[in-house]
Structure 1
Amino acid sequence: MIVNFDSHPKNSIIYTTSIILSYLKANDGIANFEDLYKYCMDSKMDYSIFILTIDWMYLVGLVEEINNRNELVLCN
């Protein structure tokens, strides 16, 4: 997926990662995936960018997993 970040800077991975990280840190590093999704949609984030950001955060080691309770867990 190619995204033109110059015309839509709010669709950049760095910006969307900051939104998700701030939410995770405010919730002690654990967030219910559905609640996080609703929070990001309230921030006018596209679904595809949301999923891409979660994938990228996992690949670079910012989040550990989505556990069996459907929670996204921040790495220590």
Structure 2
Amino acid sequence: MADINWLAEIVKVHKFHIEFYYSSITDWCLTITRKGCAKDGGDITVFDDECYDLSLLLAKAEVAVKDYCCEHLGGY
């Protein structure tokens, strides 16, 4: 079973914006951004992918978000 509790905790601390939905055309879709955090005031896309396997999509997102946090925010 897919677990997104890790994401809920990180979002509270680092203020990520999450767009998560299911489409019969593209399967599961997940986009994670930080609004207004780019040097020019734009958005930073941390993760953007789609997959038929929800668990795989969430696992890939977890790695991407945690890598981003370690690299840019001093940890998670």
Does the pair score TM above 0.5?
Answer: no
TM-score normalized with structure 2 length: 0.28
Greater relative contact order (Cα 8 A, min sep 6): structure 1 or 2? 1
More helix by share: 1
More strand by share: 2
TM-score normalized with structure 1 length: 0.28
Which has the larger Rg? 2
